[in-house]
Amino acid sequence: MDKSLNTDRFTTLRLYLIRHGETEWALSGRHTGRTDVPLTPNGEDEARELGKHLRDIQFAQVLTSPLQRAQQTCALVGLNQAPEIEPDLIEWEYGDYEGKRSVDIRQERPDWTIFRDGCPHGEMPDQISARADRLFARLSKLDGNIALFSHGQIGGVLATRWIKLAVIEAQHFPLGTASVSIFSFDSHHPTVPVIALWNATPHSLNL
């Protein structure tokens, strides 16, 4: 039985997953795990624009990855709660593939996909799945709107684990920079987790 979510009670929990704004490494397609790169000026503008759509929402808690690109985005979005650092929101540990592009990795490993194969000397799918489940086990005890400032690959993993899919399915959940997604529960079946919104950018938002 999957115990990653506490669905034994009615909950008003609503998770807003926010990917950080643009960075130079995101622009070039380089895998950016623990390398602490800042936002570009455009990434800062993206975060400010996203904030216009989120600031009127009352958040019970704001959590952010410890990496500066997530913390910068959080600060520029400017929500009503002071953020707390949440280590489990940090990006996938890419190990030997840190800073490399998928196209370059596949020159040596043509069939490689991070969500199935993981990274040598980095995180493997079962490890990041356990990390996501651990985070949700804590969050499931909360109620209200919770903001999660995080990253692209771990964001896809969070989506799959929220709806109880295997990590490999995260390949179907790409995230753009400065995007917001919402995890909640079916209003007619309150124990069924759903993805209410996915990869919405400022120009498409109507929250």
pLDDT at 9: 47
The single residue of 22, 44, 46, 91 carrying the catalytic annotation is: 91
Q: Low-confidence residues of the chain, pLDDT below 50?
A: 1-4, 6-9, 207
- Where do the domains of the chain lie? 14-144+151-204
pLDDT of residue 140: 93
Cα–Cα distances in angstroms (integers) from residue 26 to residues 29, 111, 175, 177, in the given order: 5, 22, 11, 8
Q: Domain 14-144+151-204 is of which CATH architecture? A: 3-Layer(aba) Sandwich (3.40)
Tokens 């926010």 — which residue? 18
DSSP secondary structure letters along the chain: ---SS--SS----EEEEEE---BHHHHHTB--SS--PPBPHHHHHHHHHHHHHHTTSPPSEEEE-SSHHHHHHHHHHT-SS--EE-GGGSPP--GGGTT-BHHHHHHHSTT--HHHH--TTS--HHHHHHHHHHHHHHHTT--SEEEEEE-HHHHHHHHHHHTT--GGGGGG----TT-EEEEEE-SSSTTSEEEEEEEE-GGG---
Tokens of 69: 């690109």
pLDDT the model gives residue 80: 87
Q: Does the annotation mark 172 as catalytic?
A: no
Quick: pLDDT tens for 77-102.
999 889 999 999 999 999 999 999 99
Which is the catalytic residue, given 20, 31, 53, 151? 20
Q: pLDDT tens across 60-70, in order? A: 999 999 999 99
pTM of the model: 0.92
